[in-house]
Structure 1
Amino acid sequence: MPAKILYNGKIHTQDPHLPHATAVAIQGKRILAVGSDQDVRALASSKTVEMNLGGRLVLPGLTDSHFHFIDWVHSLQQLELSGAASLEDVREQVAGAVKKMPAEKWIRGYSWNEIRWPEPRLMTRADLDDLSPAHPVILWRSDKHLAVVNSLALKMANISSETPDPERGVIDRDAYGQPTGILRELAMKLVRDVIPPFTEAENRAAVRDALPRLHRLGLTGVHDFRMMAEETAPVLRAYHQLQEEGDFAIRMWMLLPGEKLEQAISMGLRTGFGNDSLRIGHVKYFSDGGQGARTAWMLEGYEDTHTFGMPITTMEELAAVIQRAHAAGLAVAVHAIGDRANRELITVFEKVKTQKNEFSPIAPHRIEHVQNIRPEDVKRLAKLGVVASVQPLHVPDDYPMVDTSVGPRARFAYPFRDMLDARVPIACGSDCPVANPNPLWGIHAAVTRQMRNGTPVSGWYPDQCISVAEVVRGYTMGAAEATGRQADLGSISEAKLADLVVLDRDIYSIDPAEIAEVQVDITFLDGDIIYQK
């Protein structure tokens, strides 16, 4: 007999065998039955708790398929600069932090984006030095592929005019060869290496405090990406400890950095190893950088810098590690933003032998972002079964930067409609903290290709808009299929885990412009309420 029955709802199950229902019965952590009020309520006993949904929309629990989780939880205690409308706004926040922080303490900020500032230029150390002579400062740009630091931070990292660019990184320099404070790609690691790491107690506390924020957004699952390889062990230990303490109410698909591939193979780890709340996921690699930093690898030069970006890992290296990982039962996820990176990477996947056998990964390989891709390459990608992991909120956040950097070639950016029409499998996420983790904002962005203030009026390249049903699938079944967990997650179906979200409005029927304003009323994980408004 069911412990709970939810009825009088408008349930979009994501199950093609029963796409719509009004009631769901839950027993333990799993769904016992789905159907009409009459059929499902007939299963109730005197001990069954029944909840009248009042006609509200119910979806499977939402999953963010690209989330830098540990970076985000710590960023909540740092300077949040996404709302800075000018360089002066950033300076004011840094000045305020200087007054509060003891001397020599690091000041860290994130998510600044110069593209909409009155003077749209990158910051340099000269913009920070007068504010913070006694505090080292690092401020990450919104895409996390570029950071600006002050002179004290450069000194602490021993970066000078004589410091060579690190492999896969760039130290920007002025006309005299002096570092400007702008660091791109792995040049940022020179500074990160001298910042004191968070302790495991700090990791646990930050995760514990942050999880309720996700529950309020209807998120029951996260695909967690590491920024730095050295974070892997302490973060995994923190997750395990929280799980043992009963403070880990999330389904975490934890990706491993490529630097850990040989260790993972030697220990016999395979993609999917773990339990229902914490599993080892894909192995993450980078093929190129970011478009905002002009390090995404492009087929043609950028309109403003006339450079072509840069490969971060050679295609020969990627082919070798994909082959090795696949043979060991480990799926890979490869970052690719530029159209050259995507083209070359698709060629690698076409050539690498990834036939199914008893040791094949349970999850498909995936490409992260697929931000710029030509139509002919979309068709090639569709034949591979490789998942496109996309982040719809980047469209309204970044379209001015994309227009500036590639001009009319922007028509090849974020081509969600083309990918779905070609039957490329899609999983949706946010890239948080690069973008806001609210999945309703992501759904709004995919459907309208507009900012939340309604601009551009008709949407940015509106021919690439997709439907509410299509993008919801990306946050539910698409995310489950990307992890090989579609038997347990992704739809409201009998025997699946009882993760559900109840919304205050029906996003399928309201004006698409209103979707970003929709609120979560209730979130269920394992059949239990973890958030209720």
Structure 2
Amino acid sequence: MPNLILYNGKLHTQDEKYPNATAIALREGRILAVGGDAEMLALARTKTEKIDLGGRRVLPGLTDSHIHFYEWALLLQVVMLEDTKSLAELQARVQDAVSKAKAGAWIIGQGWDQTSWGQTKMPTKTDLDEISPKNPVILWRKDLHLALANSVALAQAGIDAKTPNPEMGVIQRDKNGEPNGLLNELAINLVRALMPASTELETDLAMQNAMKELHKFGITGVHDFRIMGGEGGAPALRAFQRLHAKNLLKLRTLVMLPGEFVEQAAKIGIMSGFGDDFLRIGGIKLFADGALGSRTAWMLENFEDTDHAGMPLTPVSEIAEKIARAEKAGITTAIHAIGTRAVRELLDVYEEVLEENAEVREARPKHRIEHIQHSTPEDLTRLARFNLLASVQPLHLTEDMDMVDTALGERARYTYAFRDLLNAGTVLAFGSDCPVVSPNPYLGIQSAVTRQRADGTPVEGWYPAQRLTVTEAVYGYTMGAAIAAGTEDKQGSLTPEKVADLVVLEDDIFEIPPLEIGKTQVKMTIFDGEIVYQK
């Protein structure tokens, strides 16, 4: 007997057996049947709940394939800076936070982007020192690869002119050699190590609130990644396990382990896929390079606006060793690669490692390259050849296009090259990289389909040959994400016996103008057969 029947809808099942379905029956967290209204309603019994969809569009539950969920949940409680339009506005928000804080308490913020202020000059510690002379302040740039600290925070961390750059990190300095407050990559951890940790109760409540925010978008699954350094790995995994044990985990969660722990994971026998339908281990995350905004993406040629080509964050030889160790142990790898050289070097490593294990490779989830923002025509065809998956974040392209044009010039034509990857046979899994950008998947779909800003510029789209269809973009948030997790037999389509995760939309994204997709509202989100959000 079905617990719930939804009828009079337009189901985008992504299952060719049910191309014109209008109704779906759910039972005990699974899809019982899919078909027409009369057929599904005939399954109803006395206690079956029936909901008339009123002709609304229904999609499989959406998955964010690249999100820093644990960090985002905690950052929702800090000073949010992503919509600041000037340095003065950032300063005003920090000053307001200082006025409400106890003397000596940390002021933590996230999301600033100097390019949205109409300037390229980076802020420095002097911009914070006058407004916060007694409270330590650290403010993450939107890409999480750069942070700004005031003098109090630097002093507490013992960072001065004599402090050497840490491995895989840079302490930026003024002309006199004094730290200017800007910290790149793992240099951030020198300050981060001093920040007060959240209690377990604070963490659990923050994560529950963040789940509710994702349900508003129809998101029912996440692939959760740590930022560099690995410190958040254990607290995040413990929090997910606590919530799961209490039946409070309302997302299909794939947890990626920090790459620093690949040897430990291999030694105790953890393999990708370990877990259940709610919580499972994904694989390990490594960083080949940094980010374009901080000019730490590793390029084949110099940036147009600097005299260098970025930097590798992890030595290629170390990445090769860890990929080989993970592959032998049955652990999937997900490697952050932004720049053209990072992508090239990583593909060379995968080519060598995967050829040695071709016989067992098809039985495991695919290895992934995260971001693959900038590449070359010859390398864009190599992922499919090695059965690698591209985990990409389409909203970045509309937010970054001006910066990319400035940094790369004509080389930008192979940036966020989704069409080339897809045409080469690469599976795309879509995500947001939240909190770097909004987790709203409809903004991501709009970006992939139009390659335009919200105001319709550029008129033809930014490198329009790389645009996708709405159907292809939805696949990235559903089946593509499931393939990335190795759960395509359980998720990604509205198919009998798969998990009962789905989203009912107020707006039909297949019929409205493409530039309106980002405004799409969700009517209802169902997770594991339970209505977890209803407008």
User: Residues 359, 14 of structure 1: CA spacing in aligned structure 2 closer, same or farther, 3 A cutoff?
Assistant: closer
Counterpart CA distance in 2 for 1:359 and 1:229 is 27
Number of paired residues? Answer: 533
Q: Secondary structure at the match of 1:335?
A: strand
Q: Give the residue type in structure 1 aligned to 2:204.
A: R
Conserved in 2, the CA contact under 8 Å of 1:326 and 1:360?
A: no
Which residue of 2 is the match for residue 199 of structure 1? Answer: 199
Q: Does the 8 Å CA contact 1:440/1:518 hold for their aligned counterparts?
A: yes
Which secondary structure does the structure 1 equivalent of 2:254 belong to? Answer: strand
* Post-superposition CA distance 1:342-376 (Å, at most 9, x none): 01111111111352566987311000000001111
Cross-structure match for 1:76:
76
Q: Secondary structure at the match of 2:381?
A: helix
The residue type equivalent to 2:88 in the other structure is E
The equivalent position to 1:387 in structure 2, one of 355, 380, 389, is 389
- Aligned twin of 2:231: 230
Q: SS of the residue aligned with 1:21?
A: coil
CA contact 1:200–1:235 (8 Å) conserved in 2? no
Q: For 2:231, what is the secondary structure of its paired residue?
A: helix
- One-letter code of the match for 1:191? V
1:196-275 pair list within 5 angstroms = 196-227=196-227, 228-275=229-276
Q: Which of the residues 505, 508, 523 maps onto 2:507?
A: 505
Q: Distance in 1 between matches of 2:15 and 2:368?
A: 23
1:401 alignment partner AA: M
Matches for 1:21-60 after TM superposition, within 5 Å = 21-60=21-60
1:464 & 1:260 partners in 2: Cα distance?
A: 37
Q: How does 1:83-102 map to 2 (within 5 A)?
A: 83-102=83-102
The CA deviation at 1:246 is 2.1
Question: 1:452 maps to which residue?
Answer: 454
* Partner Cα distance (1:19, 1:73) in 2: 37
Equivalent position of 1:177 in the other structure: 177
The AA in structure 1 aligned to 2:108 is R
Which of residues 462, 479, 482 in structure 1 aligns to 2:464? 462
- 2:311 matched to 1:307? no
Matches of 2:353 and 2:17, distance apart in 1: 35
* Cα distance between partner residues in 2 of 1:72 and 1:109: 12
- The letter of the residue matching 1:153 is A
**What TM-score, normalized to structure 1?**
0.98
Alignment-derived partner of residue 408 in structure 1:
410
1:417 maps to 419
What's the offset of the Cα at 1:19?
3.2
CA distance in structure 2 between the partners assigned to 1:147 and 1:449 by the alignment:
29
Query: Deviations for 1:154-190, whole angstroms, at most 9, x for unmatched residues?
Result: 1111111111111111111111111111111111111
Which residue of structure 2 lines up, in the alignment, with residue 7 of structure 1? 7
Q: 2:19 maps to what in 1?
A: 19
Shift of 1:59: 0.2
The separation in 2 between residues aligned to 1:313 and 1:293, in whole angstroms, is: 17
Letter in 2 for 1:509: E
Partner SS, residue 369 of structure 2: strand
Which residue of structure 2 aligns with residue 136 of structure 1?
136
Distance of 2:120 and 2:363 partners within structure 1: 45
Matched, 1:484 2:486: yes
Q: Please name the residue that 1:397 is paired with.
A: 399
Which segment is superposed worse, 258-267 or 370-379? 258-267
For the Cα contact (< 8 Å) 2:300–2:340, is it kept in 1? yes
Question: Do the aligned partners of 1:81 and 1:111 also contact (CA within 8 Å) in 2?
Answer: yes
Q: Which moved more, 1:220-229 or 1:234-243?
A: 234-243
| Cα deviation 1:369-418 (Å, max 9, x = unaligned) | 00001111011122111110000000111111111111121111101111
CA distance in 2, matches of 1:338, 1:254: 25
Q: Distance in 2 between matches of 1:112 and 1:361?
A: 43
TM value normalised by structure 2: 0.97
Aligned residue for 1:121?
121
CA distance in 1, matches of 2:359, 2:328: 9
> 1:292, CA displacement in angstroms?
0.3
Letter in 2 for 1:299: L
Q: Quote the Cα distance in structure 1 between the aligned partners of 2:266 and 2:359.
A: 17
User: Distance between the aligned counterparts of 2:58 and 2:276, measured in 1?
Assistant: 26
Letter paired with 2:279: L
Q: Which amino acid aligns with 1:282?
A: G
Deviations along 1:420-461, whole A, 9 cap, x unmatched? 111111000000000100111111111111222323332211
Give the match for residue 335 of structure 1. 336
Q: Please give the alpha-carbon distance, in whole angstroms, between the structure 1 residues aligned to 2:252 and 2:431.
A: 14
| CA drift at 1:116 | 2.6
* Alpha-carbon distance between aligned partners in 1 of 2:218 and 2:69, rounded to the nearest angstrom: 16
Letter of the structure 2 residue corresponding to residue 355 of structure 1: N
Secondary structure of the 1:20 match is: coil
Shift of 1:76: 0.7
Q: Which amino acid counterpart does residue 63 of structure 1 have in structure 2?
A: T
Letter in 2 for 1:271: S
The residue aligned with 2:376 is: 374
- Aligned to 1:445, the other structure's residue is in SS state helix
Q: What corresponds to 2:526 in structure 1? A: 524
Q: Report the alpha carbon displacement of residue 263 of structure 1 after superposing the two structures with TM.
A: 1.6
User: 1:38: Cα distance to partner?
Assistant: 2.3
Distance 1:505 1:119 in 2: 37
Deviation at 1:46, TM superposition (A): 2.7
Q: SS of the residue aligned with 1:97?
A: helix
Asked whether the equivalents of residues 263 and 325 of structure 2 are also in contact (C-alpha less than 8 Å), the reply is no
Query: Which runs of no fewer than 5 residues in structure 1 stay unpaired?
Result: none
Q: Output the CA distance in 2 between the equivalents of 1:11 and 1:343.
A: 41
- Supply the distance in 1 between the matched residues of 2:322 and 2:19 (Cα, whole angstroms): 40
Q: CA deviation at 1:2?
A: 1.6
Residue 154 (structure 1) aligned with residue 154 (structure 2) = yes
- Is 2:149–2:181's contact at 8 Å kept on the other side of the alignment? yes
1:294 is paired with a residue whose SS is coil
Shift of 1:66: 0.3
Counterpart amino acid of 2:340? Answer: D
What amino acid does structure 2 have at the position aligned with 1:206? A
In the aligned structure 2, how far is the partner of 1:349 from the partner of 1:18? 38
Does 318-327 or 195-204 show the bigger shift?
A: 195-204
CA contact (8 A) 1:327 1:359 kept: no
